[in-house]
A and B are shown apart, each in its own frame.
Chain A
Amino acid sequence: MHNRSIAEIAAALDRREVSSEELTRHFLGRIARLDGQLNSFVTVTGEQALSQAREADRRRAAGAAGPLTGIPMAHKDIFCTLGVRTSCGSRMLDPFVAPYDATVVERVAAAGMVTLGKTNMDEFAMGSSSETSFYGPVRNPWDPGRVPGGSSGGSAAAVAARLVPVATGTDTGGSIRQPAALTGLTGLKPTYGRVSRYGMVAFASSLDQGGPFARSAEDAAWLLSAMAGFDPRDSTSLDRPVDDYVGALEAPLDGLRVGLPKEYFGEGLDPRVSAVVEAAVRELEGLGARVREVSLPNSSLAVPVYYVVAPAECSSNLSRYDGVRYGHRCAEPKGLEDLYKRSRSEGFGAEVKRRIMIGTYALSAGYYDAYYLKAQQVRRLIADDFRRAFAEVDVLVGPTSPSTAFRLGEKTSDPVQMYLSDIYTIAVNLAGLPAIALPAGFVDGLPVGLQVIGDYFSEARLLNVGHRYQQLTDWHQRVPPGFE
């Protein structure tokens, strides 16, 4: 049952071959049995899941079930869940039980999906390896000595290990696409504003965007359909209709104009990853795509821009953690300043502190123009590169990550090395574009992810490209050994 697609599970539910309650017990059983090796869940909400499942079964019996009713899923622990701890992977929020549901949580529940629990992640979504969590590192099901990528590494590991059919994630600089690539999954980062940020713990508000993890583009289309849509409670949510993602999956790719950004195939890319991506491009040609080289000349500036903009926004967003209204509070504060300083120092881990300090410095008097303003100007140059490219092609194709999954501890001693894991994903967030990671092959038994970047609001096209590619290939159907 755990290797079936969402559509296959839904059909089995419709035929009464299985009930949602049985399905939920099956996945909860896998979590209990297998997650000890992965640490992908922070909180498992078994009782709540079973009651949601029974409700789903009642809805189905009453003829009121939708296509997702009764299908289990999991949320990254960055989405607020009413009455359930929402930790964001941090000691700071370890005591935080959210008093409300995020819009994404509400929407997915309204579709009748069953939430199995909350997944582990880099602290406050800051990281590319899921090693900075207060709850310990997440391990990659393809090789437990390696990271699953980050920051949404718990969602990635859980879906890859078939502990749950689909999961949500968030992507500020690659935090859906990079872990999807490193665990052999399909992961989509939608256009900025497509999925509501209401109730999603803020990291860098002009970059953060929620999206789906799934084993296939088809399953991702189903979950995104439930997640996406206008939300008046998010001031940057976009008021425009949601496309029919599932209905667009089968469209032919004849004449699809594919651009290969030459900057994405240069120095720093593992040649074996490059070979996998090139093979995938030939498959797309076989499907009727016309491929040409394009240039995104400011690509090398994306990481430097990001490490001004994201820390600046994070230092502002995380100033709310003061030991007063919620979250960790130090013992016996000697005064208000001591309360602030010790609560924050005890509550935040090293990477979060580094980013808060970089952001504080970039925004401080005398440095604002040189860092923040300058970065926002270069950000426009990066977005303009994409604008020019999309005047000539429909999608851009390249690698998601420069290498396959690295070993635990391999990059923790040098933050800048860790930051460079995201060289191909960050520019997309700066420009606010949608992009999808697709499993495209293996190097030494570890998954390689293709990245397809589209113009604004082209989620349906990206899922369509993924689906057609997955009809021709079976990389997305490979199962990590031990998790069959």
Chain B
Amino acid sequence: MPLSGKDVENIAHLARLALAEEDIPRYVRELSSILNLVEQLQRVDTEGVPPMAHPLDAHQRLRPDAVTETDQRELFQSTAPLTEAGLYLVPRVIE
């Protein structure tokens, strides 16, 4: 199923990506060709086949609800682009 330029712009917005206007035709072509590749799945009869989420069908392991991590805010924020007084800074959201 070929995508339109509008579809690609919408997908890019959902993925929070900004595409340059001149790149859109290339993405239309490439994404459509990838979707064309996966289209053959639609012809497979999967009636009653349970979806496989984990290779070994293992279940999520639970751990005791105990405190194991210590506060390492300073260390973890040392790699952040912009912080102040222990907070991450972003542009103003509420006027």
Residue B70, interface by CB 8 Å: no
User: Do residues A375 and B38 form an inter-chain contact, with CB atoms below 8 A?
Assistant: yes
Which one of A323, A341, A415, A456 contacts B17 once the chains associate, using CB atoms below 8 Å? A341
Given A193-B58, A238-B56, A432-B56, are A307 and B37 neighbors across the interface (CB < 8 Å)?
A: yes
Using A305-B41, A361-B11 as known contacts, say yes or no to A324 and B80 having CB atoms under 8 A apart: yes
B91 touches A308 (CB 8 A): no
- Option from B41, B61, B72 in Cβ contact (under 8 Å) with A375: B41
Give the distance to chain B from A332, nearest Cβ to Cβ, in Å: 9
Residue B6 CB within 8 A of the other chain: no
The binding surface of chain B is classed by DSSP as: loop
Chain-B contact segment, one of A29-37, A71-79, A212-220, A366-374: A366-374
Contact of A236 among B54, B75, B93 (CB under 8 A): B54
User: Interface-forming stretch among A13-21, A158-166, A254-262, A348-356?
Assistant: A348-356
**Does A335 count as interface, using CB distance less than 8 angstroms?**
yes
Q: Known contacts A357-B27, A378-B41; decide if A338 and B91 are in contact (CB<8 Å).
A: yes
Q: Which residues of B contact A224 (CB under 8 A)?
A: none
CB-CB < 8 A to B55: which residues of A? 192-193, 206, 383, 430-433
Complex interface bits, B33-46 against A, C-beta within 8 A gives 1, otherwise 0: 11101111110101
Q: Are B56 and A206 in contact (CB under 8 A)?
A: no
Contacts between the two chains (Cβ within 8 Å), count: 169
Q: A192-B55, A337-B16 are in contact. Are A329 and B81 (CB under 8 A)?
A: yes
Smallest CB gap from B63: residue in A: A232
CB of B76, distance to nearest CB on chain A (Å): 6
B33 near A354: Cβ-Cβ < 8 Å = no
Chain A, 225-255, CB within 8 A of any chain B CB: 232, 235-236, 238-239
Contact of A370 among B12, B19, B42, B60 (CB under 8 A): B42
With CB as the reference atom, state the residue of chain A lying closest to B40.
A304
Q: Are B91 and A193 in contact (CB under 8 A)?
A: no
Ranked nearest first, the 6 interchain pairs of A and B with the lowest CB-CB distance are A432-B55, A376-B51, A329-B81, A377-B46, A380-B52, A341-B18
A357-B17, A371-B38 given; name 9 further pairs at CB < 8 Å: A192-B54, A239-B61, A298-B44, A305-B38, A323-B81, A335-B91, A353-B27, A357-B11, A364-B11
> Which residues does B use to contact A, with CB under 8 Å?
3, 7-8, 11-12, 14-19, 27, 30-31, 33-35, 37-42, 44, 46, 49-56, 58, 60-61, 63, 72, 75-76, 78-82, 88, 90-93
